[in-house]
Amino acid sequence: MSSESAQPFELSATDRVTVYGAKNFPEVAGLLPASAFLAEDDGRFPADVVLLFVASAADLAHDLATAAAAVEPGGALWVCYPTAQVDGGAPDLNRDTVASLFETNDWEPVGDTVLSSEWSAVRGQPAGK
């Protein structure tokens, strides 16, 4: 995995973006693209780029399959998680934890970035793509 900084979600002007979990974290509103569709339930909302915000490894394990199913072929899934430095941050969730859960779900981590002083993210794609 490589660290990325400019334009952290690597979006094009035409990308369809679906966001899961952001409603639980009002502080991330400034990180979201203006055109993003906020998925409020477990439904499938196909997109070129899916952003999944989670607070713990258990949340990620529970929500990963739904978010991954929404990624259109050739698209990307970003798992966004609070850093351990944040009060109430997820000490059980880090780049390695996300990578491990990607791999057990037939995905592979292909990049990571720091979104803010409070949030980091790992980008994945289906394994073998």
User: What mean pLDDT is predicted for residues 110-120?
Assistant: 91
CB distance 31 to 115 below 8 Å: yes
**CATH code of the domain containing 88:** 3.40.50.150
Summarize the chain as % helix, strand, coil (round to 5).
25, 35, 40
Report the number of distinct structural domains present in the chain.
Answer: 1
CB distance 83 to 25 below 8 Å: no
Q: Which domain holds residue 61?
A: 3-126
Radius of gyration over every alpha carbon of the chain, rounded to an integer in angstroms = 13
CB distance 28 to 119 below 8 Å: yes
Question: What pLDDT does 104 receive?
Answer: 92
User: What is the C-alpha to C-alpha distance for residues 121 and 42, in angstroms, rounded to an integer?
Assistant: 21
Query: Is residue 5 scored above 60 in pLDDT?
Result: no
Question: What pLDDT does 87 receive?
Answer: 58
CB distance 20 to 67 below 8 Å: yes
pLDDT digits (tens, 9 = 90+) for 62-96: 999 999 999 999 999 999 998 876 655 557 888 99
Question: What pLDDT does 85 receive?
Answer: 67
pLDDT digits (tens, 9 = 90+) for 29-59: 888 888 888 887 666 688 999 999 999 899 9
Question: What pLDDT does 12 receive?
Answer: 85
